[in-house]
Each structure stands twice: as C-alpha cells, then as structure tokens.
Chain A
Amino acid sequence: MKPGLEKTLISLCWLSGFVLLGAVIILVGYLAYRGIPTLNRHLLFGDTPPLDAMLMKQQVFDGLFPAIVGTLALLAIAIIIAVPIGVAAGIYMAEYGRGPVKKLFSLLFDILAAIPSIVIGLCGLTVILILHNRFEGRFAPCLILSALSLAFLVMPYLIRTTQMALESVPPAIRLTAPALGSSKLQNILLVLLPSCLPEITGGIILATGRCAEDTAVIMLTGAVTSAGIPRSFLDQYEALPFYIYYISAQYSGPAELASGFGAALILLVICGLLFTLSFWLRRRLTTSLLYR
C-alpha cells in the first residue's frame, strides 16, 4: 500500500480516537462545569430541612430528594424481581437446556434483548390500561409497573451473563463434584455458581446501572415530575432521568435549569460508580471473595 495512503489512514484512525475521547471529555466537562456549582443542600431538599425530609416528616417541593428516592426505590424493586428469575433462567440455559428447546429460548432471549425500551414501556402501559378498564380505574401507571417493566428490560442481560459465566467454567472444575458423587444440582449450587460469582455479580450491577439510566420505560409507566416520595407500590413517583428530560424540554428559569444539570451530575455519578464497581468485580476475580 502506498505510504501516503497508509499515513492518511493511520492519521484518520488517530483522529477518530481523539474525536471520541474529545466528545466524552466535552460531555463530562460541560456537565461538571454547569452541575458542580449547583451541588448544595438546596438542590436536594429545597427549602425543607434535610432531616425532616429524610425522615419523611415534611414534603420536599423544590428538591431532587424525591427523585433520588424514586430512582433508588425503582432500582431496588426491579433488581429484586429480575435477579432470581434471570439467574435461574441462565442456569437453566447453561446446565439443563438441550437441543431445539434451548435454541428456541436462546432466540427468544436474543429478541428480548433487542427490543427497544420504549416498546417495553408501551407494553407495560398497555397492561395497566387493560387492568384499568377491567377493574374500574383502580390501576394506573405506578412504581410497581415501572419496576416490573424495567425488570423485563434487563432480564436478558442477566440471563446471558449467567449463562456465559457458567458455560465458561473450566471442565476440570465442572467434573470435580460429580466424580465425588454429587448430584447435578449440588454441583451447580455448591461449586459452579460460587466459582462464577464475580461475573454474575458484575452482571447484576451492570443491570442495575441500566435500570438507573432508563428513561423511555419509566416515561410511560409511572414517572411524573412532581409526586413526592412514593408511599406505596401503586403510587406515581419521580425519577432522576425523567426529571432531566423534562427540564431539557421545559425549564421555567435558570434555577430550574441549574437543578437539571445538578440532577444529571448526580445520575452520572451513580451510574459511573455502578459501572466501575461491575468492571472492577469482573476484572479482579479475587480468590478471597470465593473462599469460604
């Protein structure tokens, strides 16, 4: 290849790297630039005293606290629902599934993973509409609906992570317990699962991050701009990503805009922490974590 052409190609590659890096730096930098100045007690609690707000004695009207609580509640419920089912399905796929049944499930899960999040939100909305009409208006978009929809959204990630982690257990470990007379289930629960715990946990944390950042699903299934702290599963709620979207579309003044950036910064930190934690877990397969 002509040296001139080669040099051009190489320069273009370096340019691409810099463009991408530059984009990220500008993004995070701008966010920090506009978000950091807003970080103070008022951002979170408005005019309400923090202690009262956190003990739920008083409502917070102007602060992000309800949105943060909403996001965290959403995460917790979604993960509690998604993890047992997702990990169990992954175990089935890796250890029990055979032949055409396994192929069918595999295809279905791939399709599930590819479905746009807004479509999942739409289906969640549909379900609640059906219930709404059937049960005379007792059901409406709410926290539990969003949590279920989010659980459904991240399920394929959990299944795939568990399946791949189990399938990559070295054959030597896989045969140790059966050679000593264990049953298949004992092998899975006592040897195989513990040996891939870092990877599976990493996958769970990644799924948590995905739930935290999602906006499309919660937009249709219960997130609103001012609902306070949800007191029950059937309440509407506030969430950080939705708040950010709302602000970007209709902010009523510089103060609100600033709070939007503050919210974005907080969300970025949450997601960044989760992501880094997952990454660290997968990388550092510390033997001490596994030692029992």
Chain B
Amino acid sequence: MSEKKNIFERRPACTILIFLFILILLIDFLSGLLFIKEDYQSFRTQHYYYHHGLRPNQQAFARWSVRIYPFNTNSLGFRDFKPRKISLEKNQRRILILGDSHTEGVDLPFESTFSGLLAKKAEQHHTEILTAAAVSYSPRIHYLITEFFIEKKKLECDEIYVFIDISDIQNELVYEKYNPGKYNILTRLLYNVKNFLKRNSFTFHTVKKIITDKGKKEFYDRITGEKKEEKNISETFSADLYYSFFTHFNDNILLANPRFHGVGDWLYDKEFNSLAMKGIQLGQENISRLNNLCRNHGISLTIAVQPWHSQIKMKQTVDEYVDSWMKFAEKNNIGFINLYPLFINEENPQAVIKKYYIKNDNHWNKEGHNKVAAYLEKIIWE
C-alpha cells in the first residue's frame, strides 16, 4: 500500500510555482505598504464613468499651492466636513453643487470654502448641500457625474447649482473625445482592481509611475512657455493634476502652444477666440443635456459664472463669455447667477485680486469664498 503523498510530492513544480507566486505577491504588497508614499493627491482618482473624481470616505491632506490642508470626503466621494454616510434618499431640501477647482475649494479647508460655508448655513434652513466638485471639472463632467449619481445611483435632489468659468472652454475641448465606460459589473470590477493595485502593489505602482513620469516630462517639455508673474504650471504642485487631464487629448500642435495653456486670455486672443467659441459651444451642449436630465427628474438647474484674474482686469461685468451663457440660460429657462459684479466693480482690479484671490493663482482665498457664500446665501434662502 503506497503512502499518501502530500501536494508537494504529487506536483512539485506546480507547488513551487504557486509558492513563489504567493511569496512574490507578499513581497510586492509588503513593499507597497512600506514604500508607496501617500502623497497630497491620494484622495483623487480616475473614474470609469465621469473621468475623474474623489475617493469616497477619505480623511486626507491636500496640497494645491504651498499650504497643506485637510481634505475629507463622504460616502459618495464628495468633499465634505468629515467622512460620513450620505443616504441616496433625501429627507429635506437637497441642493447639489457642481463645479471645478473653485468649488472644490483648493488651498482651503472645506469649512472655509463657499460650499462648506453654505453647507454649514444649510442646517439652519432644513437644507442639505452636497458638493460634487473637483479640479478640472467642466460641463461635460458635470453632466456625466450628475447622470451617474441621479440616474445610475438614484441619488435624490431638488436643485442643482453648476459653477462654470473660463477654464471650462479648454476642458471641454480636452474632454470632447472622452466617453464614459459602461456601467456594469465588469467595468466596475476592473476599475476597482486597477485602483487597488495602483495603491497597494509596489510593482504596479512603480511601473505606472515610470510611464507617467516619462509622459509628464514629454508633456511639460512641449508646453513650457514664458510667464512673468506666475510660475509655469510644471513648476507647481498642481502640475501632476494638470498633466493627468490631457490623457484624452491628442492635438500636439495645440498642446505645444504655450498660449493654449493660458486659457484665461483665449477670449481676448485673436488666434484662440474661435477655439474659445468652440469650447463655449461644447459646454452649452453638455449643459443642455444636463438640463434635460434635470427636467426628467424634476430638478431645477441654475448656472453661476465666476471670473478669473484676466476677466477682472478687463473690468467687464458682462463680457462675451457671460453674455453667451446669460442668453443660453434665458433661452433654456435655466437660472443664472453672474458672480462677475462681486469682483468687478468700483474697486481697483488689482486690489480685488490681492484681497480675494490666492497669491499668483486664479482661485479665491478665504475672503473670496466668504464673499461668494454671503452672496449665494441670499439667493438660495431669501
């Protein structure tokens, strides 16, 4: 009677291979645990449906400029005071705020951003405010993220305020060819596995980093231009983010033109004016889609436009950009808020920039957010 053989004796090669595989995996994940450094953008993620967004339930720290500030997200992956579960059903008036980096509130803790200030105030008015905003969002992403949450996830809300600005015209061109992945189990599984490996597997992380660094270097070598007052984007901490938004944009001639990256001036630049118009048109097509979606779900929609430095310096409260959106909103029966007069008025434009904006940056500082929140509070609750 032959003795019962163990698995190694029965299949030595296979067992060694399995053992080696498990060992490599262990070493890989252990190395990941030890050597993958959490950076100040770790709460951000690519998204298979709405391009990019924020990871849910994060308690992290962020860096936009020189400051490092707390950054928390709720269960939906929206910026919030702290990680918390958000019910899909509403039990009071619910407002969804959409926007880009201005609305995300870069360089500030959520409490100091206009949406954070409004969310705090909302408690007194039996209202809930959710902020679905992230850096480099534009009408295309606003539509996709709303479709994802309202239609796929069945999130309930009464009103949507969407904050747009001049940077959207570039984003719209960049996202023109972006198509969302299918909302099915396989896509979601692949997306989750990829994200898991990126954050935990040392090998996956390292290979991805090498490829990204190479691409980033090539990208910035092409776009480096001359800027007197501000730093080139490639020299700032938001450079990695900026690069990652161009993954679906292949127009190398445009990318190589430094003026393409100074989107604030497109409207005033003969060469770029037609491109600016195309960006506005794409944006309006996407907001039309968003408006239809809102109508189907009985949600009221309001657009708000905010100025950059270049608009403040031009001192026009209704420029080509504002005028175009104002007419669009009127035609489509969408609410419209012009934030330009808050920053373009009798005050000296440079004084306004100094008082309400981050140093050498188009985003509001704490005072700027206070000003916007105080203005919107009246519109929302009075």
Is this pair of chains taken from one and the same complex? no
Interface residues of A, Cβ cutoff 8 Å to B: none
